[in-house]
Each structure stands twice: as C-alpha cells, then as structure tokens.
Structure 1
Amino acid sequence: MDSTATPSRPIKGLALIAPFFLWGTAMVAMKGIITTTTPLFLASLRLMPAGVLVLLAASWMGRPQPKSWQAWGWVLGFAVIDGCLFQGCLAQGLVHTGAGLGSVMIDSQPLAVALLARWLFAERIGLLGWLGLTIGLLGISLLGLPDEWIWTWLGGRFPTLDGAIGQLSVQAFLTHGEWLMLLAALSMAVGTVMVPYVARHADPVVATGWHMVLGGLPLLAWSVFSETDQWQYLDWSGWMAILYSTVFGSALAYGLFFYLAAQGNLTSLSALTFLTPVFALLFSNLFLAEVLSWLQWTGVSLTLVSIYLINQRETLLQWIRQWLEPPIEPLAEPVSLDSDPSETSSLKSGR
C-alpha cells in the first residue's frame, strides 16, 4: 500500500509548486522583452493563445462546457477580474517595475485571499496561519520597499506625499508602477476567491480557458486602438519569451492553479504564491542582473518561513500540543488479594 502512495507525494508537491515557479520565471521573461513590445499587446498574447490551449486540453480530457447563462455569467466575471484587470495591470506596471519587485508587489495578495476566504467560506486560519501571513507580508515589505525608506523609518522619519526620503519621494514611488502591481494583486485575490463559485456552475479547467480568451479580447482591442509598433521590434528571442510566458506561464500555470484552488484550501494554496517572488528574484538576478541587497535577502528568508508556517500549521499545531501535554501513564492493573500471584503472572503471559 505504501509503495503506491509514496511516489504520489513528491508529484503532488511539484504540482503545487509548479504554478508559482512558472509565474515567477514568466515575469522575468516578460520584463526582458517589455521594451521591444507594448504592454497591452503582451498581456493579450499571454492570455488568449494560452486560453485556446487550455480549452483544447479540456476538450481532449472530455470536460464539459458551461451549459447555463449563470455559468457563463460567472466565467465572464472571472474573465474581467482575473483575466483583463489582472494581466492588464501587471503588464502596465511591469514597464516601470523590475521583474523581482513587480512579482513581490503582486504576491502581497494572500492576506486578502485569507480575509475573503475567512469571511465567505469560514475557512479556519488559526494563530500559526496568521503568524505566517504576517511574517510573509513583512518579508514582502523588505523585498519591495526601497532600502533607504526602511533605514529612514528605523531612524524615526517618514516620507510625505511631496517630500523626499533620500532620493525617492512617495509620489515618485507611485509612478514607478508599484500601485498598478498592487491593483493586480487585488484582482488576483478576488479572482482566486471567485474560483469555488465558478466551479459550482462550470468545470474549473474549462472556465480557466474561457476566462483567458474572454479576458484577453478587451486587452487586444485596447492595444489595437491605443498602441503602435507592437511586434515590429521583436526578434526571435523575444517571440520565444512570449511563447514561454504563454504556454508555461499562463496555460500550464493557470490550469494547475485554478484546478487546485477548486479542490483545496484557498488560504494554504494562495500562501504558496509567496514562492513566486522568490523564483522571480532569483532568475531576474541571473538573467537580468537585478541585484538584491541583504535586506531583500532577509525578506526572501522570511517569505520561506511564512510558507512553512502556513502550509504546515496543522502539523505544527499537533506537534506543539503533544510537546505541551505529557503522556499519561497507564494505571497499574489491580490484583485481587484472593488470587495466587503465580496464577496472575501465568494469565498475563498467555500461558
């Protein structure tokens, strides 16, 4: 029995981690070519072809299409929020944000997911879960905020809207694209919470495919009317980066994530998105020469700690209870005064 169950555990673990690895590396691929194309065109290419691939895979697996107007309504709402808004804000924000930092800002969304899941589905988070989320947000803050701001805050000074701290004011910070990344994070959080409702009326894999296709249409139309030179400066490596972002960073990653979200605990699954900035930062350093300070590396470490706390909180809680509660010694079996001790020992030994 164990021989068949054991291999499935690492495979399940890889399936859980895969979407976040693919999202992080796709962010690096997109940032590498953002100067040779336009953001809305890039966002539409990341969504629409990926959606077609997901729908083809769903058809091959025999998954049913949405059959009611209510099902199509949920799919359309899902497409607007998690497709159009999320990818549009992400691509626009990436123009003025590094791949690692952009991923960090987007992945501040697990706290919003946890709060929404607690309110809508009464999901239990627990003390260790809240501790993990708090540590994760602290890690993301160390990764995303400028080092000079952090050192200045530790010294008791705070930036004003039009004043500068070091060389960076709040106004300049907001024009760097971070607020668009936060809007993308909120869109993804709402989209994640919508998944169980969508899954009640439509197959989650099919809904994922349609939400990409329908969500990409407004982005493509907006690109046609507002952008120029969308593909004229793309070379072979640029098209390969788009292909990777589309097939692996969208089709495979989204298909896995929303399939798992429809079946598992939303808080635990969304907390794994803390892995995305870790992968994005590592690969952006490798391929884009984005360098991390030691404060940012501290943020990476805190992020990993938060992932462990959130996803192992039940196991840790059981271990803590066992450690705090000493084992109860069994009471000695009473011996009758009328019995012969030799008989008692013979009975206990089974003779």
Structure 2
Amino acid sequence: MELNLRKSYIAWTSLLAIAPFFFWGTAMVAMKGVIPNTTPLFMAGVRLVPAGLLVLGYAALSGRPQPKSGLGWLWIGIFALLDGAMFQSFLAQGLVRTGAGLGSVIIDSQPLAVALLSSWLFGEIIGLWGWLGLGLGIIGISLIGLPDQWFIGLFQGETISFSFSWLGLLNSGELLMLLASLSMAVGTVTIRFVSRYADPVVATGWHMILGGIPLFVLSGFWESDQWSHLNLEGWLNLSYATVFGSAIAYGVFFYLASKSNLTSLSALTFLTPVFALTFGNLFLSEILSPLQWLGVSLTLVSIYLINQREKIAQHLQKLQSSKDSSTLAESTSNQ
C-alpha cells in the first residue's frame, strides 16, 4: 500500500513539473493566429495581469499569506521587473522582429544561464553529465528551431555568411530575445530570494500584476488597434494563453523553483518547443522535418541526463569501484 502511494506521488509530482512547459508550448500554438491581429505589448499585458489576478484569487482561497515586510515587497518588485515587465516586453517585441524558430532557440537556451547562476549562488552541482545534457539540449532546440538549410549546408562543407552591424544588432529581434532569455533566467533564480520573505504563489501573482500594468501603459502610448481586429477565436486563444499559459504555468513553475533544484527544473524548458511542435503538427498541420525529429530526440535525452545526472554519476562510480575491487582481488589471487 505504501509503495503504491509512493509511486502515485512520484507520478503526480512528475506531471506537475512538466505541466508548465506543456502549457507554455501549447499556448504558443494558440497564440500563433492571434499575433497578426493584435499588438505585442497589449498581448503581453493580457497574458500577465488577468493571470496574476487568478493566481492571487487561488492564493486567497487556499489561505496563503500576503507579504508583510518591506523586504518581501522589494523582492517582489525586482521579480516583477525582471520576469514580468522585462521578459514579456522583450519577448513580445522580439517575436515581431525575428523568426519564431530562431527566437524560440534563443529563449529556450536560458537553462544554461540558470545553471551557471545556480551553481554560483546556491552551489548546485552540474557535473559532467549535467553539462553534457545542457549541450545536447542546445543542439536539440537548435535543430528544432533553426532552418534545415543551415545544417545541410554545414554538413556539405558550405559556410554561412552573416552580415553584422552594431546598429542592426541594437534593432534586431535576436538581441531582444537574448535579453528576454536572460531576464527569465535571472527571474527564475530570484524566486529563491523572494520565497524567503513571501509565499511563492502569492509573489508570482503580484509579480504578474506589477509587471503587466506598465505593459498596458506603454501599449496605450505606443500602440493602436490593440483589440479591434480580434474575433471570438482570437479572444479564446488569448484566454487559453492567459489561464493555462500564464496563471497555471507560472504559478506551478515558480512554486517548484522556490523548492526544487533550479538546474533540473529549468532544463525542462527544453520541452517547450517539443510541445509547441507536436501540437502545431496536430492542430495546425505543421510538418516536422527529419532534422527536427532528431532535435526532439536529443532534447529528450538531454532532459534525462540533466535530471538523472547524480544517479548516473553514482552508478558509474559504483561500477568503477566494483571493477577496481575485482581487479585487486584477481591480482591478489595471482600472487
């Protein structure tokens, strides 16, 4: 009985850990048809403020305490600036200026930054197998998101030329996506400090509201026709992205981030483009190329290596110790 309960608990926690990335991936699919009919800052605000209200409503119903100290509100403000206003604004503006594939590769490379920050700040051990997994994850999402022609050309010995200018870099979507990725990475690490002074679920709700309000203000100044072209389907897609892709996904993710190993949890971000591609194939008839399927496979292998890195290292160490003992015993018997 106890064994069955433990298995059920492990299965439930595994599903809970994967849920944010499933919802983020499927929310991207839901929003693909919405982006041309709205504006980026308005869309980012819609994803944050209503979702924050939902999270705070859940927190109130579950009896979670509101922040009481000035330090708590200070850390929530920093959290809101980094993961709310900066991440969502950079992401929304970057989507307008870069391709979705390249943009997703840059965004989903943030586990590298999280791993480095977590190792430096919290002493999390990455190890050989963790670094191998992170490397495979980057290769995997690159195969998923970047054009096949790039890799085919590299395999055939061709060189890819890039035109570069500092002005072009400052106005590029790639730079905005990189800034979005770094903002999310630092925001993910920040939740550890936030949770010392405030409930992580409550902090997540407030950071969405405090980070989303400036986006609505900026949208009012700089954008027009934010919702005039949205139909019922568009509002339903935005609602899905808000409720599931923001409220539930962010609430679960940052709750786990306040308690779990950040390197292992953040590595699951590699699943986001996998879910986006899979459901894009099911609902939007998007076809995956053989290289993209290879990328999906490498991504899954990378997640396994990162999350099982300590067990793999311990198992190999035991095998090596057993081998050394056998060698020593054989040498002794020969003498």
- Name the residue aligned to 2:191: 195
Write the letter of the residue equivalent to 2:47. Answer: R
1:259-298 equivalences in 2 (<5 Å): 259-298=255-294
SS at match of 2:77: helix
Measured after TM superposition, the shift of residue 96 of structure 1 is 4.5
Write the letter of the residue equivalent to 1:324. Answer: Q
Decide whether aligned partners of structure 1 residues 25 and 172 sit closer, same or farther in structure 2, where only a CA change above 3 A counts.
farther
Conservation of the 8 A alpha-carbon contact between 2:101 and 2:146:
no
Measured after TM superposition, the shift of residue 68 of structure 1 is 1.6
- Name the residue aligned to 1:217: 213
- Name the residue aligned to 1:64: 65
How far apart are the structure 1 equivalents of 2:319 and 2:104? 38
Structure 1 unmatched ranges of 5 or more: 164-168, 330-351
SS at match of 2:322: coil
Measured after TM superposition, the shift of residue 141 of structure 1 is 2.0
Measured after TM superposition, the shift of residue 160 of structure 1 is 4.1
1:143 corresponds to 2:139: no
How far apart are the structure 1 equivalents of 2:90 and 2:282? 25
Conservation of the 8 A alpha-carbon contact between 1:32 and 1:288:
no
**Residues matched between the structures, number:** 325
1:327-346 equivalences in 2 (<5 Å): none
SS at match of 1:65: coil
Decide whether aligned partners of structure 1 residues 175 and 141 sit closer, same or farther in structure 2, where only a CA change above 3 A counts.
farther
- Higher alpha-carbon deviation: 320-329 or 198-207: 320-329
SS at match of 2:128: helix
- Name the residue aligned to 1:27: 28
1:117-196 equivalences in 2 (<5 Å): 117-162=118-163, 177-196=173-192
- Name the residue aligned to 1:251: 247
How far apart are the structure 1 equivalents of 2:227 and 2:283? 22
- Name the residue aligned to 2:48: 47
How far apart are the structure 2 equivalents of 1:88 and 1:105? 15
**1:148-194 deviation line (CA, Å, top 9, x unaligned):** 2223334555444438xxxxx99999977343222211111010111
Write the letter of the residue equivalent to 2:76. Answer: V
**1:25-74 deviation line (CA, Å, top 9, x unaligned):** 11111222101111111100000000001011111111111112211111
How far apart are the structure 2 equivalents of 1:305 and 1:130? 13
% identity of equivalent residues: 61
Measured after TM superposition, the shift of residue 260 of structure 1 is 0.4
Structure 2 unmatched ranges of 5 or more: 326-335
Measured after TM superposition, the shift of residue 227 of structure 1 is 0.7
* Among 302, 308, 315, the residue aligned to 2:311: 315
How far apart are the structure 1 equivalents of 2:231 and 2:3? 51
* Greater helix proportion: 2
How far apart are the structure 1 equivalents of 2:321 and 2:170? 51
**1:300-346 deviation line (CA, Å, top 9, x unaligned):** 111111000000112222222233333899xxxxxxxxxxxxxxxxx
Conservation of the 8 A alpha-carbon contact between 1:160 and 1:170:
no
- Name the residue aligned to 2:333: none
Decide whether aligned partners of structure 1 residues 3 and 151 sit closer, same or farther in structure 2, where only a CA change above 3 A counts.
closer
Say which one has the larger Rg: 1
TM-score (norm 1): 0.86
How far apart are the structure 2 equivalents of 1:282 and 1:94? 20
How far apart are the structure 1 equivalents of 2:175 and 2:38? 22
Conservation of the 8 A alpha-carbon contact between 1:147 and 1:295:
yes
How far apart are the structure 2 equivalents of 1:16 and 1:157? 41
Decide whether aligned partners of structure 1 residues 37 and 101 sit closer, same or farther in structure 2, where only a CA change above 3 A counts.
same
TM-score (norm 2): 0.90
How far apart are the structure 1 equivalents of 2:145 and 2:172? 12
Conservation of the 8 A alpha-carbon contact between 1:84 and 1:215:
yes
